[in-house]
Chains A and B, each alone.
Chain A
Amino acid sequence: MERLQKAFDALRPTEAQEEKMLREILIARDDAPRRRRRGGNPVRVAALIAAALALCVVTASAAEALGVSQMIRDYFQQKEETSIMDTLNVAASGLSTTAENGWKITMTDLFGDENRCYVGVTLEAPEGTVLDQSDYILRMLAVPAGETPESLEAKWQDARARRAYDELKSLSEIYFYCEQVSDDDPKDNKISFVFSESLDYYIDGTTFDFIFEDLFWYDRSKPHENGQQKQTVVEDFDAKIPNVVTHFISNNGYHISVNQSVQVFNGTATLEEVYISPLSVSYVLSGESVEKTFFKRTGSSEDFIERASKTRPTRKERFAEYVEEDTDEYWYGWRSIWELDVPIILHFKDGTSQELVFEAYEDAGYEDSGHRNDISNGKVQAYYVFDGIFNLNTLDYITVCDVRVPLTAAK
């Protein structure tokens, strides 16, 4: 008994941990109302596949097409921008699967650019079922074709053991942020969703299996129970749409090579390139001040790589390490590392301009802006996802780090 109690005692937090957690709670509490985010339900929580996938029937095959569906147009509420919508390269429209329980899932759109992926999905329940809630959540994830979360885990561990850090990101499942779109007929058996997720790595040409787990909703009229809103599961699926090829990215955006020296992060860096599409804009920085700011905060680069890759930490954990070692860096840590430092300014042909302020975190998921650290090559890519579909024809040039980047250089 005494040993058992001692074991539980060993799980108590240290005083330093208690203080650190309290500090982060107070900051997060004060910060929460200012965070900007799309409407709808954040679905970062997603389960691993608990059981083997049930048999399902997939109809149609992957097909590429130009132009998004009406559902996506409604989602972005930009009907006047039909011409832009028509130019988007969409993959895998019309793919569907019917699960054993009779529910039909149709992927209406799969499109995106180098920074963000969108998936439109329509769900049809068996006749007689009424889907009348306005905030259903359908859990969906994408895994490289033929893989399962378990096989990915094994490969991830293997890559980690070999210190093959560049492979790690592509050995992850992609979980999507889910938003239900408005329902024309709340009394029928159909509902639609738009999924979105920022991309950790370049996926164009990759073949994925899309897995659908369950449909549920939160009753927001009821108070939280034990700190959480209660999930009401409507249906479990365990269905998938296999072998979807993501040939949609390269045609949707432009890379503009810059390669100019800039002053940023209290030092000199190189603005390598700017990327822009109707969906997002991003830039790549490298060089001395980037290395110093992002890759040599504590210890050597090797130490950083080892630590950052070892347990796949969240941004909070990662920067919590800095708190322990150098409190001065805390403010520049997980909370808002890029928030004010390097904005992008869009200059329009009509003489107006718009500054895109970053609330950027690494591994930003469904947030509108974020950054990716290419540790091996010492590069940082910051991206900003537009609220809607952006008409590039209205744009004259872009300014990043006081460098004027004309769109005529796009290729």
Chain B
Amino acid sequence: MEDTRRDGFLALYQRNIARVYQICRLHLKNAADAEDAAQTVFLNYWKTKPEFRDAEHEKAWFIVAARNQSRDMLRAWWRCHRADSRELEKAMHFDSPEDGELMRELLALPTKCKDAMYLYYYEGYSSREIAEMLECSESAVRSQLCEGRKKLKIKLGGDYGTVTESV
């Protein structure tokens, strides 16, 4: 019985860890903080054991839990002493200086923009789905996407996509 539960947890971990960590790192910038946050998300899952309707529900739960956990940690006292995005850039390998620059600007975006950009451009959610997940209006999501794109464009030039859904 314990083995079955453990196997189930391991499968769930494998399905979600990369996404959870990415969101945490997007918010917290520092690898150690992101690891802490990701671990807490899975421990919280273990404590509450929510029942998921389907794979999408599970995915959405972990996205929101990762976002909430990161935001909580950002408020914790020691966060203010952690590495900033420049330190993150130093710690990561990029193919070109421009990629490093993009990462720095991406991480410097307002929190809501980062969430929306990640979910829309990376995870492929629609603005309606993002709005449901983040508990805000669809127009707010589109506005955050627009703001994020504009900031990246202004600072870096180039094309960072458009929102293709109808307004």
Contact = CB atoms under 8 A, between A and B. Distances in A.
Interface of A: 1, 3-8, 10-13, 17-18, 20-22, 24-25, 28-29, 32, 44-48, 141, 149, 153, 156, 172-173, 175, 223-224, 226-228, 311-314, 316-317, 320
Q: Tell me what chain B mostly uses at the interface: helix, strand, loop, or mixed.
A: helix
A226 B64 contact: yes
A11 B25 CA distance: 7
B35 A227 contact: no
Contacts of B61: 226-227
Nearest to A20: B35
A226 B25 CA distance: 18
Contact of A48 (B41, B75, B121): B75
A68 B110 CA distance: 47
B16 to A, nearest CB: 11
26 contacts: A1-B159, A3-B98, A3-B102, A3-B160, A4-B122, A4-B160, A7-B106, A8-B121, A10-B94, A11-B22, A12-B22, A13-B22, A17-B21, A17-B35, A18-B21, A21-B35, A25-B39, A28-B43, A29-B43, A46-B76, A48-B77, A224-B47, A227-B41, A227-B44, A227-B69, A313-B32
A115 to B, nearest CB: 20
Contact of B17 (A6, A21, A156, A320): A21
Contact of A228 (B26, B65, B99): B65
B103 A7 contact: yes
A320 B31 contact: no
Given A5-B122, A8-B121, A228 B69 contact: yes
B117 interface: yes
B82 interface: yes
Given A11-B26, A141-B77, A4 B117 contact: yes
B41 A13 contact: no
Interface in B76-98: 76-83, 92, 94-95, 98
A13 B16 CA distance: 11
B52 interface: no
A22 B12 CA distance: 11
A10 to B, nearest CB: 6
A12 B75 contact: no
Contacts of B95: 6
Contacts of B44: 224, 227-228
Contacts of B13: 22, 25
A10 B102 CA distance: 11
Given A3-B102, A6-B99, A7-B106, A12 B21 contact: yes
B124 to A, nearest CB: 10
A4 B65 contact: no
Contact of B45 (A17, A48, A227, A312): A227
Interface in B20-37: 21-22, 25-26, 30-32, 34-36
Contacts of B121: 1, 4-5, 8
Interface of B: 10, 13, 17-18, 21-22, 25-26, 30-32, 34-36, 38-39, 41-48, 50, 61, 64-65, 68-69, 72-73, 75-83, 92, 94-95, 98-99, 102-103, 106, 117-118, 121-122, 152, 158-161
B98 to A, nearest CB: 8
Contacts of B73: 45
Contacts of A17: 21, 31, 35
A310 B133 CA distance: 37
A149 B75 CA distance: 12
Contacts of A172: 77
A320 B34 CA distance: 13
A25 B92 CA distance: 25
Contacts of A316: 36
A30 to B, nearest CB: 10
A3 B94 CA distance: 11
A13 B32 CA distance: 11
B77 A46 contact: yes
A354 B122 CA distance: 58
B22 A8 contact: yes
A11 to B, nearest CB: 4
Contact of A18 (B18, B32, B76, B99): B18
A115 B92 CA distance: 40
Most chain-B CB neighbours within 10 Å: which of A141, A227, A228, A316? Answer: A227
Contact of B35 (A3, A6, A12, A320): A320
A232 B152 CA distance: 36
Given A12-B21, A317-B36, A3 B122 contact: no
B91 to A, nearest CB: 11
